[in-house]
């Protein structure tokens, strides 16, 4: 059985996940686990601030320590991936 789970983040924002489960109970359990995970990680920068911080980092390669400390786990993951990309391009040139 396939299902699409929408986990709300903020107003008008959600994560959409396609899952497979053998029973409706199994899919409900996956949905509950995802909602619990997201609720623990939602803190961080709001959408507008996050976009500004991310775009500034992409343009300059620099991020303020206060901005980095305010990131949630997923936002830090994005920053680290950008950092790795910068490093790779630098090493390739």
User: Within this chain, do residues 10 and 36 fall inside the same structural domain, yes or no?
Assistant: yes
Co-location of 15 and 37 in the same domain: yes
Residue 60: which pLDDT band, with cuts at 50, 70 and 90? Answer: very high
Q: How confident is the model at residue 4 (pLDDT cuts 50, 70, 90)?
A: confident
Domain that holds residue 9: 2-41
Residue with the larger pLDDT of the pair 50 and 93: 50
Q: What is the mean pLDDT of residues 1-24?
A: 79
Cα Rg of the chain (Å, integer)? 17
Length of the chain in terms of residues written: 93
Domain shared by 64 and 34, yes or no: no
The pTM of the full predicted model, rounded to 2 decimals, is 0.54
Do both 37 and 66 map to the same domain?
no
**Given a cut of 80, is residue 35 above it in pLDDT?**
no
Q: Same structural domain for residues 84 and 54?
A: yes
pLDDT attached to residue 57: 94
Report the alpha-carbon distance of residue 87 to residue 93 in Å, rounded. 10
Give the total number of structural domains in the chain.
2
Question: 32 and 15, same structural domain?
Answer: yes
DSSP 7: E
Query: Residues 13, 37: one domain?
Result: yes
Give the separation between CA 8 and CA 86, rounded to whole angstroms. 32
CB 31 within 8 A of CB 60: no
């Amino acid at each position: 059985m396939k299902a699409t789970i929408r986990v709300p983040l903020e107003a008008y924002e959600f994560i959409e996940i396609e899952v497979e489960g053998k029973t409706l109970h199994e899919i409900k359990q996956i949905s509950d686990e995802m909602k619990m995970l997201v609720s623990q990680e939602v803190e961080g920068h709001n959408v507008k601030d996050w976009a500004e911080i991310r775009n500034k980092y992409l343009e300059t390669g620099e991020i303020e320590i206060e901005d980095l400390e305010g990131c949630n786990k997923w936002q830090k993951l994005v920053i680290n991936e950008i950092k790795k990309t910068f490093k790779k391009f630098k090493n390739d040139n």
